[in-house]
Structure 1
Amino acid sequence: MTVVRKNTEVVETRGMPAAAVPSASPDAGEASPSTHDLSKSPRSLRSRIFGQLVSFGFVGALAFVVDVTIYNLVRATVLQDSPIWSKVVSVAVATAVAWLGNRYLTFRRERSPQAFREGVLFAVVNVIGLFIAAGCLFISHYLLGFTSQLADNISGNGVGLVLGTTFRFAAYRWLVFSPRSRTLRLTHSTHRSVRTDSGANS
């Protein structure tokens, strides 16, 4: 006769006392999602980040095209005398496209169910990235005295763009769409499921 109680298997044989031996967990050998995420090899992690960089570049290029297209469309129609507001509208639409692209493509496995919080963080990161590019232009033009159009393009659209883009990707990867928060959610869900199953079997 064999009786199984949670994690202990009681074996009873004729003429011998019952012996309690640990039983294998029904999920033995199957790594939980959180364990799998934490145990990735460096090579796999580098491959994952490279794929995200490629997707990030694609989404950024798409957002740039949307920005330019919307700006010229609005500037030529409803806001003919307002180039600044035309740019505000085009940047707002391009930022929304970038957020959706990164949320559902680049970082689709890490995205948070709290879309509003994620969207706010995304907007804040983009504002900081804009300040980085503007700061490079300010330092070059006003502090270092490089006032030519070529120098402004190198500092603002060259150095500033590279630094701002690098900051945005790092912030997206480790703050806005954080793998750590995803792992914590999976771990919490796994523990809650284990407690529910244990309560049902007791």
Structure 2
Amino acid sequence: MTANRTHRRPSLLQRLRGVSGEVVQFAVVGLVGFAVNFGLSNAVLHLTHWAPVRCSVIGTLVAIVVNYLGYRYWVYKDSDAASRRREITLFLLFSGIGLLIENGAVWFAVYGLGMTSTLAYNGAKVLGTGIATLFRFFSYRTWVFRALPELAEPTEVVAEAERLLSIEDSPQFAR
């Protein structure tokens, strides 16, 4: 005997609505990280006159810390926290890849194209940050901050329990 289950998959519109709130929160945290990243990297660049990529990496590293705190304690606060070590390891791995994407764009602009103005530096940083942000968003939500499994509706649980009890009470299972 097969059970007639009525698991309704959310519509595309419902799934997009669910993701849209997450995207807004992700964007807010990202904008704070963006401000930290650009503010710090430009300050270090102009105050120390170090190499542009080094200054960019410093800004990116500090922004990664700020972003982790925002993602962990606000955007993905309801995610499964059973394994913080795994979460932090994956976060750092994907953040590191994002760092390479972002600062690779800066490196290419400065050393590949010879663009050394502040405008070129910040333009390359914006482009690299944009590409890295897309990568990070999908990586974080897919592998780092997994959502807790949704609990079944109480009526579904009751219906399933009643179905199982009715199977046990059937003549086939009588002793």
TM-score of the superposition, structure 1-length normalised?
Answer: 0.54
For structure 1, list consecutive stretches of 5 or more residues without a partner in the other structure: 1-21, 76-80
Aligned to 1:172: 140
CA RMSD of aligned residues (A): 4.2
Equivalent AA in structure 1 for residue 145 of structure 2: F
Letter in 1 for 2:30: G
Q: Which letter does structure 2 place at the counterpart of 1:144? A: L
In structure 2, list runs of 5 or more residues that go unmatched. Answer: none
1:61 aligns with 2:40: no
Offset of residue 152 of structure 1: 1.6
Equivalent-residue separation in structure 1 for 2:60 and 2:129 (angstroms)? 18
Pairing 1:51-130 to 2, within 5 Å after superposition: 51-63=21-33, 91=61, 94-130=63-99
Kindly indicate whether the alpha-carbon contact (under 8 Å) linking 1:110 and 1:177 is maintained by their aligned counterparts in 2.
Answer: yes
1:47 corresponds to: 17
Instruction: Note closer, same or farther for the CA distance 1:95–1:154 as it changes in structure 2 (3 Å cut).
Output: closer
Q: Could you tell me which residue of structure 2 aligns to residue 139 of structure 1?
A: 108
Distance 1:159 1:135 in 2: 10
Label 1:131 to 1:64 Cα distance change in 2 as closer, same or farther (>3 A): same
Q: Quick check: which one's strand share is greater?
A: 1
**Largest Rg, 1 or 2:** 1
1:6 equivalent in structure 2: none
Alignment partners' CA distance in 2, 1:145 and 1:63: 27
Structure 1 residues 179-198: aligned runs within 5 Å: 179=147, 182-183=148-149
**CA separation in 1, counterparts of 2:110 and 2:65?**
31
Cα distance change, pair 172–110 in 1 and its aligned pair in 2 (3 A):
same
Give the Cα separation in 2 of the matches to 1:114 and 1:168. Answer: 20
Code of the residue aligned with 1:61 in structure 2: it is L
Q: Is the 8 A contact 2:76 2:145 kept in 1?
A: yes
The amino acid across from 1:151 in the alignment is A
Q: Letter of the 2:113 partner, please give it.
A: L
Out of 162, 174, 180, which is 2:130 matched to?
Answer: 162
> Which whole-Å deviations, capped at 9, do the CAs of 1:37-60 have from their partners, x for residues lacking one?
xx1210011112211111012223
TM-score using structure 2 length: 0.61
